[in-house]
Amino acid sequence: MNQVQITDNKKNMNQTTNAILMIRPVAFRMNEQTAVNNYYQKVLDGLLPATVNAKAQQEFDAFVDQLLGVGVQVIVVDDTTETDTPDSIFPNNWISFHENGDVVLYPMFAENRRLERREDILDILEEEGFQVNEIMDYSSAETEGFFLEGTGSIVLDRENGKAYCALSPRADEELFIEFCEDFEYSPVIFEAFQTVDSARKLIYHTNVMMCIGDTFAVICADCIDDKKERKMVLDSLRGDDKEIILITESQLNNFAGNMLEVIGANERRYLVMSASAYQCLTKKQIAQLEEHLTILKVNLDTIEACGGGSARCMMAEIFLPTASV
């Protein structure tokens, strides 16, 4: 297992952004292709597919309204009915945007998730005034069975030049190291587990068990079974002056790790999470977080149950430069 390379890799990049890409679902359902290693997904008995999608759309629209209401710029793109893309609501897995104008496309584990990659989304962003310089496309690795699912697999500390990755069937070590070399991040590599039917199974995405904000980190350290790896990850975060807020595996199961810090109007900082994540936090944890920023909670019950993902997965951060007029 690779250890973190302790290098001074400070990048003078922003950790958070005011601009978010979100994909509005048209045929949301539980994706049977991802359920094989996403243990958070559930079948909602007795609900017709159209009902599930309608509920997901309601949750999505209310989420967007809440973000817009605090001054976050949200670019909403409608999913298309031409493809079978039940997970399109989670764009952060297939694309990421970077301050130098780079756009990265990622190799996806589920075949129907590969259909989510759409070039027209880049056209829409350019129409909105964002500048796209280069496209780095790792997606061909999926044909050989290697995957790395964007900022689901990779949790970036952009400011300190570190990339955290919990290896899993959806996060290949060599591919992750290649990403780190290409973008000059120091890799922090470990394995994270959850208990499923009394067995320890790899957690499918890193962003389920940790979130890095500007001045804090939320992490379920109990998921990192190897004590040396756990110490390495915590030491790395502490070394960058992040206040560490520990969550339990039970809280993780309520998506308490799947949060994202965003910037609203007047540079005010918000931590976006689902209502279920908020409800499972202790008063002490909430107080710790509120020392840093304002909590914005959204109801995502249907999306979480069927999709096995939560608030952070739904937001693809846009760090692209704005085109000069």
Residue 28 sits in a domain of what CATH number? 3.75.10.10
Alpha helices in 149-258, H assignment, sequence order: 150-153, 173-183, 227-239, 249-252
- Residue 324 falls inside a structural domain: no
CB atoms within 10 A of CB 84: 13
Residue 288's contacts (CB-CB under 8 Å, 6 or more residues apart) are: 216, 243, 245
Tokens 């350019």, located at residue: 126
**Does residue 32 belong to any structural domain of this protein?**
yes
The answer to whether residue 101 is domain-embedded is: yes
Tell me the three state secondary structure of residue 322. strand
Which domain, by its residues, includes 128?
A: 19-317
Report yes or no on 7 lying in a domain.
no
Domain annotation covers residue 209: yes
In a domain, 264, yes or no: yes
pLDDT for residue 45? 56
Tens-digit pLDDT profile for the chain (325 aa)?
A: 554 444 456 667 899 999 999 999 886 655 454 444 443 344 555 565 667 778 889 999 999 999 999 999 999 998 877 776 767 889 999 999 999 999 999 999 988 888 889 989 999 999 999 999 999 999 999 999 999 999 999 999 999 999 999 999 999 999 999 999 999 999 999 999 999 888 999 998 999 999 999 999 999 999 999 999 999 999 999 999 999 999 999 999 999 999 999 999 999 999 999 999 999 999 999 999 999 999 999 999 888 887 677 899 999 999 999 976 4
- Name the DSSP class of 119: T
Distance CA 239, CA 241 (A): 5
Helix, coil or strand: residue 68: helix
At which residue do the structure tokens 């990265």 appear? 104
- The total number of structural domains in the chain stands at 1
